[in-house]
Amino acid sequence: MRLQIGYVPLLDAAALIAAVKLGFTAQEGLAVDLVPVPSWATLRDRLALGHLDGAHMLAPLAVASALGLSGLETPLIVPIALNLNGNAITVSMPVWEAMAVTDGSDAGTVARAFAGVARRRSGEGRPLVIGTVHPFSSHTYQLRRFAELGGLDLDEGVHLVVIPPPQIAEALQRRLIDGFCVGSPWNSVAAAAGYGRVAVLGSELIADCPEKVLALPASETEISLPLVRALRRAGLWCQEPGNRAQLAALLSARDVLGVDPTVLGHALAGTPISGADGAVRVDPRFIVFGEDAQRPDPAHALWCLDAMRRAGQVVPTAGAAEIAAAIYRPDLYDDALATGIA
């Protein structure tokens, strides 16, 4: 069986990419074509229209799609999660210098310094422009958490814009935006090149934040089983420290991420590059694959729904909560492991 599975070029697609490139899917009798897609909105629409058989997807976007809050209402299932964490907030060098903090500062100190700059800029009639990757994303909710830590009303203090992940660093370089929240490696790409500084890691704002999942049409329960087995093995392989160099080299290929393997290796090790001077920001759980991340937890779907509520994107109902929780299918995950070698 040949499948078309879409992904956005990000480090957190590693388990999906490794599953195909290292032959884990082939071992399950699956022929999988990986389809790079530039934006989450495009990926959402291609999955909804049946142009893709599955997708590497933002956890909140999977919930929003199933509820008809973003694009076409699309019944989906999540039989396996791909990772936790992996995002960071990066600001331009002028904003970083105005914040006057050091790399070792805690998230609260950094957030208050950012809020001070945002208030000054807003008072001058030129509010900061901050990029996020999609309205229904943990990135948006982490930005809101960051603003809250600093005592800033994000809706009034900055201008929030949506930019596809592969284009967001370039937008900062061209000074079209003043900062962004995105998944690795695009934060470190901006930092290593010297036009951005990683201010805080997403994992410092929301511990073990639900991030990317494998989303499939709700009718595809049968095909989910071999996919889960392949992705489980790939995720465990990605999480193994001894495989980091090989994984970084695999992902650095021009037709995958096209990013320096040193940058990728730092992120995989939990020491993402935060500045051109060699500074890093450290969190061993900066990005989590493998055992701790994979089994889909309906509580994560409900967390997404609550984050949407707090952002003013939805008024939750009992029906919405039931639909959201039902998307995550730990039963399929468990069945896959019980019916094959994983």
Give per-10-residue mean pLDDT for the chain (342 aa).
Answer: 94 98 97 97 98 98 97 96 98 98 90 97 96 98 98 94 98 98 98 98 97 97 96 98 98 96 98 96 97 97 97 92 97 93 52
Q: Residue 50: exposed, middle, or buried by beta-carbon count in 10 A (0-12, 13-18, 19+)?
A: exposed
Q: What does the pLDDT read at residue 115?
A: 97
- Of the residues 178, 205, 232, the one at which a domain ends: 205
Residue with tokens 């290292």: 22
- Of the residues 143, 178, 205, the one at which a domain ends: 205
pLDDT in tens, 273-301: 999 999 999 999 999 999 999 999 999 99
Q: Are residues 94 and 187 in the same domain?
A: yes
pLDDT in tens, 66-76: 999 999 999 99
Which of 190, 202, 114, 199 has the alpha carbon at shortest distance from 158?
Answer: 114
Q: What does the pLDDT read at residue 341?
A: 56
Q: What does the pLDDT read at residue 340?
A: 72
Which of 113, 112, 107, 303 has the alpha carbon at shortest distance from 204?
Answer: 107
Q: Are residues 216 and 331 in the same domain?
A: yes
Q: Are residues 240 and 317 in the same domain?
A: yes
Q: Are residues 34 and 72 in the same domain?
A: yes
- Of the residues 153, 171, 205, the one at which a domain ends: 205
Specify the number of domains making up the chain: 2
Q: Are residues 70 and 94 in the same domain?
A: no
Q: Are residues 97 and 78 in the same domain?
A: no
Neighbours of 219 (CB within 10 A): 9
Q: What is the CATH number of the domain that holds 111?
A: 3.40.190.10
Q: Are residues 256 and 292 in the same domain?
A: yes
Domain that holds residue 110: 87-205
* H helices, E strands: number in the chain: 18, 12
Backbone angles phi, psi at 302, to 5 degrees: -70, -35
Q: Are residues 81 and 218 in the same domain?
A: yes
E-strand ranges in 137-193 read 158-162, 179-183
Q: Are residues 214 and 332 in the same domain?
A: yes
Residues 6 or more apart from 272 whose CB is under 8 A from it? 88, 184, 187, 188, 198, 201, 266, 280, 281, 286
Q: Is the peptide bond before 185 cis (omega within 30 degrees of 0)?
A: yes
Q: Are residues 80 and 216 in the same domain?
A: yes
pTM: 0.97
Q: Are residues 142 and 71 in the same domain?
A: no
Q: What is the rounded distance in angstroms from the CA atom of residue 238 to the CA atom of residue 48?
A: 29
Q: Are residues 69 and 91 in the same domain?
A: no
